Amino acid sequence: MSVVQWVKQLFVVRGAPLTVPDPIIFYIVFASALVFTILYQLCDPMMKKMFPNSYGKLDEDHRIEWNSRILSNVHAIVVVIYCVYIIFNSSCTEKYLHDIDVIYGCEHSLYVLSISLGYFLYDTVIILMNYNQLGGASMMFHHISSIACICILNSYRQFTLIPLSYCLTEITTPFVNQRFFFDKAEKKNSKRYTFNGLLMWLGFVLFRCTMIPLSVYIVYTKYDVMREKMPIFLRYCLYAQVINISVLNLFWTYKITMGIVSTLIKRSKHTKTKSQ
């Protein structure tokens, strides 16, 4: 087998040709990146007016992270709402929800992934400008791998069910970011901080942990279809990503659970001490 044939087997299968994305995809990516950039620039003056006592006291590094997390919330909310519409109430519902078609891809799925691509491009630039404050190497790896994945999916115009399913888990992101906001506002001892922590834990259990058996089930039941109609490299990237995301979700759910248990034990001891 020649090198050319081997490479072709890796990247091309019958019914899944590599193509140049439609022009509208480039427009959406550009518009998304531009909107997020503008919103980021507007965040600082808006936050100073809205939260002068908490945001106003932060140093420059924490203000940058605060603003970045605000935009992270905006992205999460937009993506989750759009994905709920695509999977549950659009012309794609039959293919995604009833047939569980892992090969199928519709225009809406490519649009929402392109919105995310624009966000990741904007956020990658912000991370590079503020490397140590915003996560460093781990965050860069996450963003670059996400950018590569979305570009590949836009080139094939297929295989979007599992990525869309993982997008739904972004519903937990606002609760994670809210924890940071409460912390920097010096409200870690408030009931709202505890309540947000419980909602964050519930979100991880209901959405992120639920995705583990669901994604394994999809991969297992659709293995033959994926083997026949999905390029080799993309199939193994998908397997690796399912394992990677599942392990991370389990790890963070465990950490959050231990944090909540620790907080509840401390509060219980504090209550008993006061009653005595």
The whole-number pLDDT of residue 259 equals: 84
Q: How far apart are CA 19 and CA 263, in angstroms?
A: 52
Using DSSP, state whether 58 is helix, strand or coil. coil
| Inside any domain, residue 199 | yes
| Inside any domain, residue 8 | no
Cα dihedral 41, 45, 50, 53 sign: positive
| Inside any domain, residue 154 | yes
82 near 108, Cβ under 8 Å?
yes
pLDDT above 70 covers what percent of the chain?
Answer: 93
pLDDT in tens, 2-30: 666 666 667 777 667 778 899 999 999 99
The whole-number pLDDT of residue 167 equals: 94
| Inside any domain, residue 129 | yes
Contacts for 190 with CB less than 8 Å, ≥ 6 apart: 182
Q: How far apart are CA 73 and CA 177, in angstroms?
A: 7
29 near 114, Cβ under 8 Å?
yes
| Inside any domain, residue 6 | no
The whole-number pLDDT of residue 276 equals: 58
Please classify residue 53 by burial: count the beta carbons closer than 10 Å to its beta carbon, then call 0-12 exposed, 13-18 middle and 19+ buried.
exposed
Query: Per-residue pLDDT for 271 more than 80?
Result: no
By C-alpha distance, which of 94, 143, 105, 75 is closest to 234?
105
| Inside any domain, residue 45 | yes
Output b/e per residue, 132-154; b: 16+ Cβ within 10 A: ebbbeeeeeebbeebbebbebbb
Task: Please give the average per-residue pLDDT across 269-276, as a whole number.
Answer: 62
| Inside any domain, residue 4 | no
| Inside any domain, residue 7 | no
Contacts for 182 with CB less than 8 Å, ≥ 6 apart: 188, 190, 192, 193, 196
Average pLDDT over the chain, rounded to whole? Answer: 89
pLDDT in tens, 179-232: 999 999 888 888 898 899 899 999 999 999 999 999 999 999 999 999 888 888
pLDDT in tens, 121-134: 999 999 999 888 88
Q: How far apart are CA 72 and CA 172, in angstroms?
A: 11
Domain extent for 171: 16-275
Q: How many domains are there within the chain?
A: 1
